[in-house]
Amino acid sequence: MVTILTEANDKEIQANGGYTRKEFMIFHSFQRQKIVFLVFILYLLLFLLLSYQIVDDSLIIVLLLFGIPIVILASISTFLFVIVEKFKNRLEYDYQTFHSWHFTINKEKIIQHFSDSYRIDIDWNDIQKGYEIYGMFFLYVTKKHIIILPIRNFYSKSDYLEFKKYAKKNKKIKLKK
């Protein structure tokens, strides 16, 4: 049996609201995961190289003498990096113009309404990647334009499930099971 989807069967979904400071911080924490690991490795290599220059001996002696202090220094430096990033994210949230939006979503596109006179239309094909985690959808249109859509912003569970159905059609969006 073949079911033909017609315009009458398509549902237009509404989502209203925005994200809280906590949700904004969770998003940026998710964004930082890979960067924090790379920063730790870079600090580790930097301190290892500096120690090697100081001792000017074999790498094994440097690791035996400075191994634990190098790991401790790299950990402290990475921790300070994370604290500075969290502070920057708090400032960024405070200075944002828009904290809430209205979304109109259908099978072809997502319309993000900022006000009565300003909106952005985003085709599902324009979404480069996306995730459903921490009770939110993170949809990357570009590296700089990311839609953060908390699940609680949907008017009903059926709207949320319909959104997931549209998102599943885009292979770049990873949905949790």
Q: Compute the distance between CA of residue 106 and CA of residue 15 in angstroms, rounded to an integer.
A: 11
Q: Model's pTM, two decimal places?
A: 0.66
Amino acid 95: pLDDT: 63
* Residue that has been written with the tokens 């709207």 in this structure: 159
The rounded percent of the chain whose pLDDT value lies above 70 is 85
Name the pLDDT band for 6 (thresholds 50, 70, 90). Answer: very low
The domains of the chain are located at 7-19+100-174, 22-95
Handedness of CA 3, 126, 156, 11 (dihedral sign): negative
Counts for the chain of helices (H) and strands (E), in that order: 3, 8
Per-residue model confidence (pLDDT) at position 82: 83
Q: CA–CA separation, 177 vs 173, rounded Å?
A: 12
pLDDT value at residue 177: 42
CATH architecture, domain defined by 7-19+100-174: Roll (2.30)
More confident residue, 149 or 172: 149
How much is the pLDDT for 90? 75
pLDDT at 175 over 80: no
